[in-house]
Structure 1
Amino acid sequence: MSLGEEQGGGYGGSGETRTRLPEGDSDVYGTPRRPPRRSSSRSLVTVVGVVVLLIAAIAFANQGDDGGSSDSGAGEGKKPGSAPTAASGAKPVEGKSSGIPSGFAHDEQGAQSAGANYAVTLVSADILKPDRRSGIVKRLFVPDKVDELSAKFDKTYSKDFLSKIGLDENGNAATGETYVSRTVPVGTKTTAYEDSAATVEIWCTGAYGTAGQKTTNPVSNDWFTMTLKLRWTDGDWKVQSFSSKDGPAPVNGDNKISTADEIAKAIEEYGGFTYAR
């Protein structure tokens, strides 16, 4: 079963098993990721990479999307040469639409900025909330995919799916718990670009799980790379199709593990950013 149209580097490159998309009545959790090496109470709990579930579910919603066809135009443009890894200093956007950055520049840097911000939204807590999801799909995706993807997202993020990651049917955590899905782009690059389309890779990390005293899915971090095929539509970059792969992931540091209350407080107090290339 594929994630989107491109498998990228596939799974298992780092020796870990990434949860695959459930089909039919199969177990949504699959094989859990390895627990942290250091000794702690959390090492006794099966740590499920929630980001894996989210990306897999998103990719399921994207199945059937002809992202590799010629109409996307992203695979036939010129392949950009090497680019500096430092930030460009360019202003990312002129404004926001429904809280999501919009108005990206019609150039390669603008496509990378759009990809970074869209990756944050696609793997967020808001995408799980029915009252937010419709607006997100309309904002991020090309118009001819909106109705189809809205229906698929609603089916994918079912009450049963949400309950398996500890959320109610509205995408909310239980009283006294805080659901965390905070994605942080580390870097971006374009692998193909032309005036009307671009393919952008976004290297990401983040914090995912549920902060709570009795949670069986404590907040952990993950590293992954998303590939977005973008199309220039209605004066902005929109998503045509997407896929993901594991890593690159550095060696875990020996950081002191924070309490659930500390994680929940940080999520509440520290806001996210608008990202620019």
Structure 2
Amino acid sequence: MSQGDDHGYGGDSGGRSDDPYSTLGGTRQTRTRLPDGDGGDHGRRPARTSRSLVMMVGVVVLLIAAIAFANRGGGSNDEASGGNAKKPDATGTGPTAATGTKPVQGKNGTIPSGFAHDEQGAQSAAANYAVALGSVGMFDSATRHDIIQATHDPSVVADLQADLDGAYSPAFLTNVGLNDDGSAPSGLTFVSRTVPVGTKVVAQSGDRATVEVWCTGLVGLAGQGSTKPVTETWFTISEKLKWVGDDWKIESSTQTEGPTPVNGDNRASTADDIAGAVEGYGGFTYAR
């Protein structure tokens, strides 16, 4: 889903300096704005539009980068775009082309594990982790803890979970349109789904790799009477991965908005059709 990067994955909103969720100065470092308590800005803010919902959910889905870990062990942007980066081509035969390698068989909870210790494995891990971090499970505290433990370097898990628990407050969940416990209101289906479009290794050296995942996301409440309909968003996640315990794990992540294609002429489906599609079509294990 989400998929701005206020809470670690703020999107670049095209230079709109008044956007509190935008990146800062083109550095891809992001501002952390956790939900305020009683009497804070959230208490005075009017109901959000569907676009605002997309921004907020995207902010929380990818909270990781700005909360203490965005700059931990990180290099400069020049390092991230080092000479070993490979450029894809329009034919689909570049870095995201199929390799014929079978998907990983391991599972860490519900998340794939056991990725290869190479570029292909790093890209597959990054894509799968993007899916998990953009899922509905992030809005339930117990499931969220499982996701963070399965996808992150153990050295950053405890602090990250504490910050996320504070961010996913009852006030925030209510603002998104959910109940205090993160569940959807009766008769509605909450949608938060991230779909990787392509991956690219921009830096790799030994037990570390930086992988960008270009994604589209769906987020909103589907069903009759929803005031926050499901909409799409486009963003790119940059994951700094570390080889830990015979698998790739996330050390830190950032998110930028786009690249975003021109909207097509497809007629929007009904709320019931969207809810049925989300419940009827499962996600994928990504490998290449």
Determine if the TM-score, normalized by the shorter chain, exceeds 0.5. Answer: yes
1:58-207 pair list within 5 angstroms: 58-70=61-73, 75=79, 79-83=84-88, 84=94, 85-207=96-218
Deviations 1:210-231 (A, max 9, x none): 0022221100111111111110
Shift of 1:78: 6.1
1:275 and 1:28 map into 2 onto residues whose CA distance is 40
Structure 2 unaligned blocks of 5 or more: 23-31, 89-93
Residues 63 and 70 of structure 1, relative CA distance in 2, 3 Å threshold: closer
Residue 14 (structure 2) aligns with: 12
2:27 matched residue in structure 1 = none
Q: Which moved more, 1:182-191 or 1:79-88?
A: 79-88
Q: How many residues align?
A: 263
CA distance in 1, matches of 2:15, 2:248: 31
Give 1:158 shift.
Answer: 0.7
Match of 1:212 among 218, 223, 245: 223
Q: Which residue of 1 aligns with 2:60?
A: 57
Moved more, 53-62 or 141-150: 53-62
How many percent identity over aligned positions?
A: 43
Q: Contact 1:4 / 1:242 at 8 angstroms: preserved in 2?
A: no
**TM-score using structure 2 length:** 0.80
Contact 1:192 1:200 in 2 (8 A): yes
Residue ranges of structure 1 left out of the alignment (5+ in a row): 33-44
Structure 1 residue 244 and structure 2 residue 255: aligned?
Answer: yes
Change (3 A) 1:28 1:122: farther
Q: Does 1:48 align with 2:63?
A: no
The answer as to whether partners of 1:73 and 1:197 remain within 8 angstroms in 2 is no
Alignment CA distance shift 1:276-1:18 (3 Å): farther
Q: Which residue type is aligned with residue 81 of structure 1?
A: K
Q: Who is 1:37 aligned against?
A: none
TM-score of the two chains, using structure 1 as the length reference: 0.83
Q: Is the 8 A contact 1:72 1:240 kept in 2?
A: no
